[in-house]
A and B are shown apart, each in its own frame.
Chain A
Amino acid sequence: MSIAFYIVAGLTLASAIAAMSLSNFVHAILCLMVFFAGVAGVFLTLNADFLAGAQMLLYVGAVGVLLIFAIMFTRNAVSELFRGSGGWLSGIVVATLVSSLIIAGVRDAYSTAVFPEVAQSSVKALGEALSGRHLGALVVTGVLLTAAMIGAVLVALPAGAVETAPEEDEA
């Protein structure tokens, strides 16, 4: 179990770094997909198998495809990888500081914590929580997703198409 975690963790971290530092965009996005699959693997080591499945379906299946589309629409737009005028260096320094700060805090606070022995995560319990205690949040999320979908379509339409689009939908 522990070895599985180290393998998955190493893969996840390496692919995240690659996704953020490769200059070939398609390679970077494919590394991002490996990263998402790796996060699903991390969820699996934690017995959260439903989340792992959702992560695969949502990120590898949908978000990845969206990112690829965006890249294809804006291809060859930027030649340089990082921001100019030294901005990139300060970004990396800030990120290193934040990350090491979190690690320092976590090491002290959770140095002796262990996972309790629990049964496998049951999808049934998750479903009951989703349709019981968290029902309000679920409905709000549904409304949010619908709004986001319509908003994304409207934002991405070409400027002239906004007036003609509703007529076409009715036809």
Chain B
Amino acid sequence: MSGMAAPSEYFILSALIFGVGLAGVLSRRNLIAVLAGVEIMLAAANINFVVLWRMTPDAGQTGQMFALFSMAVAAAEIAVGLALVIQIYRHFRSSSIEKPHLLKDGEE
């Protein structure tokens, strides 16, 4: 195991992935792509959980548990999120994030 990469490299990787996901969430136009970006950010967080679990062998399985539960919650989130996207698409005939703005001030 001496040849293993350092924890900081893992942290940098997850920070970069998080950045990519955040960029997607903030700048993609399509709702599905935004949800995919959220999934990427969650995966980056999961990598951090697992790295921290690996760094603290005395803390039991808590880090892996966190990652496992976060996966389950992410699955629930994507299921409900995509159901909402489909409903929005039915209503606006578009899955653009800029269409549903009926609650905004001063338009329409």
Mark A residues whose CB is within 8 Å of B: 1-3, 5-6, 9, 12-13, 16-17, 19-20, 25, 28-29, 32, 35-36, 39, 42-43, 45-48, 50-51, 54-55, 58-59, 62-63, 66-67, 69-71, 73-74, 77-78, 80-84, 87-92, 94-96, 98-100, 102-103, 106-107, 110-111, 113-118, 121, 125-126, 129-130, 133-134, 137, 141, 144-145, 147-149, 151-153, 155-156, 158-159
Contacts and interface: CB of A to CB of B under 8 A. Distances in A.
Nearest to B51: A46
Contact of B43 (A6, A35, A48, A133): A35
Contact of B96 (A29, A78, A99, A153): A78
A119 to B, nearest CB: 9
A152 B76 CA distance: 9
- B interface secondary structure, majority: helix
Contact of A70 (B21, B53, B86): B86
A46 B50 contact: yes
A66 B75 CA distance: 10
A25 B30 contact: yes
A9 B14 CA distance: 9
B4 A32 contact: no
Contacts, number: 266
Chain B interface residue count: which class?
A: 35 or more
- A interface secondary structure, majority: helix
Given A51-B67, A81-B29, 6 more contacts: A39-B47, A46-B54, A66-B82, A102-B19, A129-B65, A151-B83
B75 A145 contact: yes
A3 B3 CA distance: 9
A63 B7 contact: no
**8 nearest A-B pairs in the assembled complex, by CB-CB distance:** A99-B19, A91-B26, A91-B27, A148-B76, A88-B27, A95-B23, A20-B24, A156-B83
A16 B40 contact: yes
26 contacts: A1-B1, A9-B9, A12-B13, A13-B16, A16-B21, A20-B36, A25-B33, A32-B36, A51-B68, A54-B68, A55-B46, A59-B43, A63-B74, A63-B78, A67-B78, A73-B89, A77-B89, A81-B28, A91-B26, A102-B18, A113-B8, A113-B55, A114-B6, A144-B76, A148-B79, A148-B80
Interface in B17-49: 17-30, 32-33, 35-37, 39-40, 43, 46-47
B7 A134 contact: no
Given A58-B75, A92-B27, A32 B47 contact: no
B102 interface: no
A1 B3 contact: yes
